Amino acid sequence: MQKQLVYIAQQSGKYTLIDTTTEQRWANEFFKTKYDVKHFTKQNGLTIVPKPVEDLFDDIKQVPLRVRKVMKKHLPIDADYLNLEVALAEIKPLGYTFEYGLDAVPFNLKKRDE
């Protein structure tokens, strides 16, 4: 029997478990500490996995150093459309892409679908 995969989320200062397949809260349990979470998951045969990151800007350390260097070089705090286009052109061959809005703020950094 395959173990059910869950990740830990924090809500209102307490921890809860999220099912990785349905993205729904697993049971109506809230826990005060991560130790309580681990005890509960062990008791119920659950496997804790890292929370999936959809926008790599939220966890930039998962991005290769070459891509981070391009971002640092071309995306200053006050980036404009030209900065964004140059950065995008340089990271696409590295296998990554991102979007940006009218406010010239980049978002949704992710691996390109090849």
102 shares a domain with 77 = yes
What is the per-residue pLDDT across 4-25, written as a single tens digit (0 to 9) for each?
Answer: 777 777 766 777 888 877 777 7
Please state the domain count of the chain. 2
103 shares a domain with 64 = yes
- Print the domain residue range for 15: 4-48
Please report, for residues 2, 90, 113, the alpha-carbon distance to residue 93 in angstroms, rounded to integers and kept in the order given: 38, 6, 12
60 shares a domain with 44 = no
**Residue 87 and residue 74 in contact, taking contact as beta carbons nearer than 8 Å:** yes
Q: Band of the pLDDT at 36, cuts 50, 70, 90?
A: confident
What is the per-residue pLDDT across 92-113, written as a single tens digit (0 to 9) for each?
Answer: 999 999 998 888 888 889 888 7
Q: Band of the pLDDT at 58, cuts 50, 70, 90?
A: confident
23 shares a domain with 42 = yes
68 shares a domain with 30 = no
Return the closest-CA partner of residue 48 out of 4, 6, 17, 2. Answer: 6
107 shares a domain with 61 = yes
